[in-house]
Structure 1
Amino acid sequence: MAPSKTPAREEGRNTREARTGAMRAVFERAGFTDVEPPLLQPANVFLDRSGEDIRRRLYVFTDPGGQEICLRPDLTIPTCRLYLEENGGAGQARFCYSAAAFRFEPQGSGKPTEFVQTGAEFFGAKDADAADAEMLALAVDAVRAGGLEKFDIEMGDLALFDALVDALDIPGGWRTRLKRHFWRPAYFKELVARLATNGATERASERTGLLAALDALDEKNARSVIEDVLDLAKIAPVGGRSVAEIAERFLERAADQSAAPLSKETAKLIDTFLALSLKPQDVAKRIRDLTKAAGIKIEKQIGALERRFELIEKKGVDLSRARFETGFGRTLEYYTGFVFELRAKGAGADGVVAGGGRYDGLLQSLGAPTRVPAVGCAITLERLTAALASKGSPSK
């Protein structure tokens, strides 16, 4: 028997629909076309491109045709796939949406497994800084249209860290790994510590067993050995990782045993850089001072950061309560540049009501013929509603 539609339930549904409609209208007035990507998505798309947090929480099953599919865990990747279907990965497009997404939550967590995301994705913009500023301003306007006035803004920029790493005098393979694992704070910290303490004595004591054997092989044969070992031991992928990813991790550890250690000065520079948490007006000077002392320059990225702040303020966003954190990279693998979150008291453990950022590499990995500039944002209705119940007091 279907549940009766009590007046209170009907009123709650009407309020939610009005709230999402008001937020979506902000994007529509800015020229975004309302879309709703398919609910069912190929599972491998998310397994290959999302962070471990999402990979562990996918609702995955096999359809009668044998294809592994999942319920969409967010709207960004499905909207990207829709853009590729309609535009072929060429030209500008502005899409917005308001639809349900699904992620597993342990029983008793109090978190919904089904939630509503209202957001927008901007593809193909030629001026990245202007598009970034517009997306943050739209997110702020949409959250306010949803009824929330008090919130904090946290920002970061992965491109700054990439530029720093590229300027360091370290092996190319280490640059790639540091960039790739930036979004995983715990593992990243472990990685830097391991590279910095990998001295000759430690290498001599640890170069035994499988790692030593792998180091003696070329990459193709080493990868084959690892995959055979995993298969013979009947070891299944863990946390959404594929056998290839596990093999890659073994190869990285074997390479660590042969490489010279990261200098203490370089390790300290990375730690100091990632610990910066500043008001927007103080960021550029502090990073310039830090990099100048280290004898490196990343002026192009610092200049872009300054311009983006100026454009954001021109859009009417008050940055007086905002913070910029150089170590802020969110939890999704596909971000490549500017990232942000809007936070308020009562909106869950982390206080995040909305978030977004730039993901210039994602479209090409999904099949676009070339790299497509892209930036987006998403607001979670349930978190917004919880923050409103707490009167939206700032989270910090």
Structure 2
Amino acid sequence: MTTETTRDFGALEKQTQTLMSVFTKASYEAVAPTILQPADVFLDVIGESLRARTYVFTDLDGAELCLRPDLTVPTCRLHLARHADPRTPARYCYSGAAFRFQPQGADAAHPREFHQAGIERYGDTEREAAEAEVVATVVRAIEKTGLKDWSLRLGDLGLFSSILDVAGLSPLWKKRLDDAFLRPLAFRDSLKAFASDTDATRLRVPDTLLSSLKRSDLAASEAAIGAYLEENAIELIGTRTLSDITEHLIGVAEGREEKPLDSTAADLIGRYVGITAPARTAGAKIAELINGAPSGSAAALESYDRRIALLANAGIDLDRVTFAAEFGRTMAYYTGLVFEVRAKSLGPQSPIATGGRYDGLMRAAGASVDVPAVGAAIHTERLMTATLGASS
């Protein structure tokens, strides 16, 4: 081990201790979720883009496992193991390694094995207060390490869902748009394709196969697709299971009878995702957009305004905070607020902290009910790079 490596490791460890000290002083309990996790839980909830980057393997007992690609899901599973009632209020903090394949090549800002320090809290009934507290705690921890030049970017999946309601969409169109929103960089192109009935995401499969697929008989549908794949020597590649493919193709089959997305609805959604504004004024812009709509999104807007006020009360400088309607995150489990903390020296593709609300994740991890949940993780190697850059 070189002297340079030793010094870097020591500095990273010292930084992590600083972060964890801020977390524990804010009443978060330090926990250590296991690195090896059951693959099925992760692959069901993390989303398509991260699913393809997760290291999955089968052990000698035949169990399919993965190296955790983040620490949020493992912390949910730890909470479930501790509490018979998953709605029991709890706060956890952690520090540990996570693992993701980097399709563009690993580098200092995007290593395959990286370190996260984060917080998760469950069971809070005061939703916006919990969200503001999480954001403020993360920012306070980042500043404690010496980085003062940060900015905060907000998104809101709850507001996006309310806009879909305002647009008067069918359940099928809502699902398709929700799915497309997991790919924010391509969402506007998908919206145009939906409105013109040129959806490029539809797979080219025989019409007879699509016609045989029924959501009411998943077993038979899965068997039909399995037989088709076998007959045509098509192998399952990557992390998509036969049940995943079946679910997707049933959606395609159901969508064949659906009319193209209404142009008025597409225009409303397009104008919404085009909103990028200072956090102080974004709520007014959204309210103006939906003014006069047959069904409003007052509750989601009230939640947004309340959250912004609570962030200010928690000491967050709102002059550093922007709202971007198209910001939706690629993690499939987020359900409401999403946010990222950026450092100017690293650019928008390398946020130093990310987080948000994920009320449905506990159910996906094995609970019988949804649980209010919000958290965030700091990418400590990026924070170290940004901190060193700011001090040089």
Which residue type is aligned with residue 164 of structure 2?
V
Per-residue deviation, residues 216-268 of structure 1 (Å, max 9, x unmatched): 76443555433321233232345532222222332333333312222211111
Letter in 1 for 2:87: A
Tell me the CA shift for residue 54 of structure 1: 2.0
User: Structure 1 residue aligned with 2:53, among 47, 54, 57?
Assistant: 57
Task: Provide TM-score, normalisation by structure 1.
Answer: 0.89
| 1:264-303 correspondence runs (5 A) | 264-303=263-302
Question: Which deviates more, 279-288 or 133-142?
Answer: 279-288
Q: Does 1:170 align with 2:172?
A: no
CA distance in 1 between partners of 2:296 and 2:208 (Å):
38
Contact 1:151 1:392 in 2 (8 A): no
Cα offset, 1:186, TM superposition: 5.0
Instruction: Tell me by how many angstroms 1:93 deviates.
Output: 0.6
Which residues in structure 2 correspond to 1:38-53 (within 5 Å)?
38-53=34-49
TM-score w.r.t. the length of structure 2 is 0.90
Q: Which residue of 1 aligns with 2:318?
A: 319
Residues 1:169 and 1:11: Cα distance change in structure 2 (over 3 Å)? closer
CA shift, 1:106, in A, is 5.2
Question: Could you tell me which residue of structure 1 aligns to residue 31 of structure 2?
Answer: 35
Residues 154 and 322 of structure 1 are in contact (CA less than 8 Å); yes or no, is this contact kept in structure 2?
yes
Would the aligned equivalents of 1:90 and 1:124 in 2 still touch at CA under 8 Å? yes
Deviation at 1:325, TM superposition (A): 0.9
CA contact (8 A) 1:158 1:329 kept: yes
Counterpart in the other structure of 2:82: 86
| Alpha-carbon distance change, 349 to 262 in structure 1, aligned in 2, over 3 angstroms | closer
Q: Partner of 1:259: helix, strand, or coil?
A: coil
Deviations 1:266-303 (A, max 9, x none): 11111111111011111111111111154431001000
Cα distance in structure 2, aligned partners of 1:139 and 1:97: 13
Given that residues 12 and 381 in structure 2 are in contact (C-alpha distance below 8 angstroms), is that contact kept between their aligned partners in structure 1? no
Contact 1:211 1:253 in 2 (8 A): no
Cα 1:54/1:170, change in 2 over 3 Å: closer
Aligned to 1:97: 94
The alpha-carbon distance between structure 1 residues 331 and 107, as it changes in their structure 2 partners (threshold 3 A), is: closer
Cα separation, partners in 2 of 1:337 and 1:239, compared to 1, 3 Å: farther
Residues 90 and 285 from structure 1, CA distance in 2 versus in 1: closer, same or farther, beyond 3 angstroms? closer
Would you say the 8 A contact 1:211–1:250 is kept in 2?
A: no
Please show how residues 166-315 of structure 1 align to structure 2 within 5 Å: 166-185=165-184, 188-198=187-197, 210-211=206-207, 214-215=210-211, 218-219=214-215, 220=217, 224-238=223-237, 240-315=239-314
Taking a change above 3 Å as real, the CA distance of residues 189 and 222 of structure 1, as seen in their structure-2 partners, is farther
Of 13, 16, 19, the match for 2:12: 16
Q: Deviations over 1:117-149 (max 9, x none)?
A: 000000111111100000000110111112211
* Contact 1:357–1:377 (8 Å) recurs in 2: yes
Native 8 Å contact 1:347 1:384 kept in 2: no
Aligned pair 1:75/2:71, yes or no? yes
Q: Give the SS at the match of 1:384.
A: helix
| CA RMSD, Structure 1 to Structure 2 (Å) | 2.4
Residue 66 (1) aligns with residue 62 (2): yes
Give the C-alpha shift of residue 107 in structure 1. Answer: 8.5
Once the two structures are overlaid, the 10-residue window that deviates more, 139-148 or 100-109, is: 100-109
- How far apart, CA to CA, are the structure 2 residues paired with 1:106 and 1:185? 18
Match for residue 378 of structure 1?
Answer: 377
Distance 1:223 1:314 in 2: 53
Displacement of 1:190:
4.8
Q: Is 2:166–2:293's contact at 8 Å kept on the other side of the alignment?
A: no
Matched AA of 1:134: E
Alignment partner, residue 137 of structure 1 = 136
Give yes or no for contact 2:41–2:364 (8 Å, CA) kept in 1.
no
Q: Percent identity?
A: 38
Task: Flag the 1:130–1:12 CA change in 2: closer, same or farther, 3 A.
Answer: same
Aligned residue for 1:352, secondary structure, equals coil
Aligned AA for 2:100? R
- Counterpart amino acid of 1:95? Y
Q: Against the structure 1 CA distance between its residues 45 and 348, is the aligned structure 2 distance closer, same or farther, given a 3 Å change threshold?
A: farther
> Which residue identity lines up with residue 102 of structure 1 in the other structure?
F
Q: In structure 1, what residue type is equivalent to 2:15?
A: R
Deviation at 1:214, TM superposition (A): 2.5
Task: Return the offset for 1:80.
Answer: 0.8
Aligned counterparts of 1:150 and 1:198: Cα–Cα separation in 2: 45
The equivalences for 1:140-159 within 5 A come to: 140-159=139-158
Listed one character per residue, the Cα deviations across residues 188-236 of structure 1 (whole Å, up to 9, x for unaligned) are 445433431239xx9xxx9x97236624764435554333212332323
Contact 1:19 1:145 (8 Å CA) reproduced: no
**CA distance in structure 2 between the aligned counterparts of 1:251 and 1:10, rounded to whole angstroms:** 54
The residue type equivalent to 1:231 in the other structure is: E
User: For the structure 1 residues 40 and 209, does the alpha-carbon distance in structure 2 shift closer, same or farther, using more than 3 Å as the test?
Assistant: closer
Note the residue ranges of structure 1 that are not aligned, 5 or more in a row. Answer: none
